[in-house]
Amino acid sequence: MERIGIGLAGLGTVGAGVYKHLIQNRVLISERVGLELAVRRIAVRNPDMVRTVHPPREIVTGRWEELIEDPAINILVELMGGIDTPYQFMMRALDAGKAVVTGNKALLAERGFEIFEKAADKGVPIFFEAAVAGGIPIIKSIREGFIGNHIESIHAILNGTSNYILSRMTEESMDFPEALREAQEQGYAEADPTLDVNGWDAAHKAIILASLAYGFWVGTSQIHVAGIDPITASDIRFADRLGYRIKLVATIRTNRDSLVEAHVHPTLVPKQHVLASVNGVFNALMVRGDIVGDTLFYGRGAGQDPTTSSVISDLAQAAIWYDSGGKAFGFTPHGLYGKCLPIERVSSGYYLRLSVVDEPGVLAQVASILGSHQIGISSVIQPEGHEGDAVPLVLIIHDAPFGKMWTAVQRIQSLACVKASPMLLWVLS
C-alpha cells in the first residue's frame, strides 16, 4: 500500500484531533482509501509546549517552511489560525505543487480570490470542508452531489455560539448578557466572542458558500452583516407571540437577473419552518437546487471531533488526487458570472419594535412615514401593562426594499414620540 506523506501545520484543538484520529483509525482509513496517510512532520509555534497529544519529538518543528521543503510530504494541512502566516504558507505550498487542506474560513473569505487563482494557475486543489459547518459535508455536497444543479438559494444557521445564546434566550427568557455568560461557562463561547455574536464568523462561511454556488468571490464589503447582541428578551417574546423564532440566518440566493443576495443577520423565522427548530450549538443548512429541490443538512458546526472528521475526509480526497497523478479531482471552478445585488435593493418583510410615548396619534405618525415610502404594515402589537413614559409598539412590515425601509426607520427615529433607537429585524421569506 502506497504511503502518502502528510505535513500538519498547527497542533491546537483541531490539529490535535486530526493527529489523534489519523493514528487511532489508521487501519480503517487505509482500507477505505487504499492508501496509507502518514503524518511525517508537524509545525507548531512552540515545540516545547505541553499538548494533549504526543507525537514523536523528531517530527515536530518550529518552522512551517520545513513542511513545504520536505520531499517526503505530499499534502499539507493548514490549521494554524489567523490570516497572514497561513496565507504565506498556502501560497508557498501551491507554488511547490502540494495540495492543501484547510479549515481557515477567515483566510478564505478575506484572501480566497488570490489563493484559488494561484491554485488554478498551478493545477493544485485546495480542500476546505472544515471551513464551513464543522462536520456537516456541505462543501462536498455542493461541489459533487449538486454538480448538475443551479443553486437557487441557501438559508443557513452557521454559528453554534449564536444559536445556543438565542436558544437559551427563548427557553429561559434570558437577556443577551446572561445567555452569553452561560455560553462561556459551558464552553460554547470564547472569552472574546466578538466574531460569533457580531455575525462575522457566519459571514465568512457564507462568503465561501456563495463562491461555490455562484462562481465568484463576494467581497467582505458586499455582504450585509448584523449581530445578535442587540436582541432583547422582549424581542424574543414578541416574536413568539407573532409566531416566530429569532435565529442568526445567512441567506445566499439568486434572482432572475442572476444577481446574488448575500446577507447575515438576526431573522424572524416562522415556527413551522425547519430552521426554527434548530437549537443549541447545532448548525443547519437548507439548499435548493433547480433539479434536486429542497435539501436539509443538520449537525454540529464546530468542536474538535466534527471539524476533525471533515479534515480527514479532505485528506482522503487529497490523497486520491495525488495518487492519481493529479487527475482525480472532478470539480473545477465555473465561470465568474455572478454579481451581488446591492443590499438596498434586497426585499424582505421586517419586524420593527419602537419605544414610543403612550398617547393618541403615534401609530398614525409611524404609518404615515411608512406609507410615504410605499411600505405597508401587516400587523401591529401594542402590549398593555407597561409602566413609565414609553411603551413598546411592534409592527410586522410587508416586503419592501431594505434601502427604503432603512430610510423610513431613520425618519421614524427622529419623531418626538419615539424615545429610543428602533429595533429592525428581517423576516425570513
The CATH number given to whatever domain includes residue 308 is 3.40.50.720
Is 368 found in the same domain as 241? Answer: no
Nearest to 246 by CA among 262, 227, 259: 227
Is 210 found in the same domain as 78? Answer: no
Is 379 found in the same domain as 309? Answer: no
Is 384 found in the same domain as 364? Answer: yes
Is 358 found in the same domain as 310? Answer: no
**With bands split at pLDDT 50, 70 and 90, how would you rate the model's confidence at 191?**
confident
| Residue 359 within a domain | yes
Mean pLDDT of the 82-109 span: 95
Is 151 found in the same domain as 297? Answer: yes
Q: What is the CA radius of gyration of the chain?
A: 24
Q: How many domains does the chain have?
A: 3
The CATH number of whichever domain residue 236 belongs to comes to 3.30.360.10
Q: Which of 122, 205, 247, 419 is labelled catalytic? A: 205
Q: Would you state the torsion angle of the CA atoms of residues 114, 118, 124, 130, taken in this order, to the nearest 10 degrees?
A: -10
Mean pLDDT, the chain, integer: 93
Instruction: Return the percentage of the chain with pLDDT > 70, whole number.
Output: 96
Last residue of a domain, one of 301, 334, 359: 301
Q: What is the pLDDT of residue 329?
A: 60
222: containing domain: 147-301
Whether residue 92 contacts residue 65, with contact meaning beta carbons closer than 8 Å, is answered with yes
pLDDT in tens, 28-68: 999 999 999 999 999 999 998 888 999 999 999 999 999 99
| Residue 177 within a domain | yes
pLDDT in tens, 375-417: 999 999 987 766 667 899 999 999 999 999 999 999 999 999 9
Last residue of a domain, one of 267, 301, 335: 301
Q: Is 231 helix (H, G, I), strand (E, B) or coil?
A: coil
| Residue 338 within a domain | no
Q: What is the pLDDT of residue 387?
A: 64
Is 410 found in the same domain as 319? Answer: no
Is 188 found in the same domain as 258? Answer: yes
pLDDT in tens, 248-278: 999 999 987 889 999 999 999 999 999 999 9
Is 408 found in the same domain as 348? Answer: yes
Q: What is the pLDDT of residue 210?
A: 92
| Residue 336 within a domain | no
334 pLDDT exceeds 60? no
189 pLDDT exceeds 70? yes
Rounded to the nearest 5°, which phi and psi values hold at 352?
-125, 115
| Residue 213 within a domain | yes
For 289, the enclosing helix (H) or strand (E) is: strand 282-289
Whether residue 424 contacts residue 405, with contact meaning beta carbons closer than 8 Å, is answered with yes
Is 292 found in the same domain as 310? Answer: no
Is 124 found in the same domain as 164? Answer: no
**With bands split at pLDDT 50, 70 and 90, how would you rate the model's confidence at 163?**
very high
Is 397 found in the same domain as 293? Answer: no
| Residue 142 within a domain | no
Pairing assessment for the beta strands 423-427 and 347-357 based on DSSP bridges:
antiparallel
Active site residue 271: no
Q: What is the pLDDT of residue 218?
A: 87
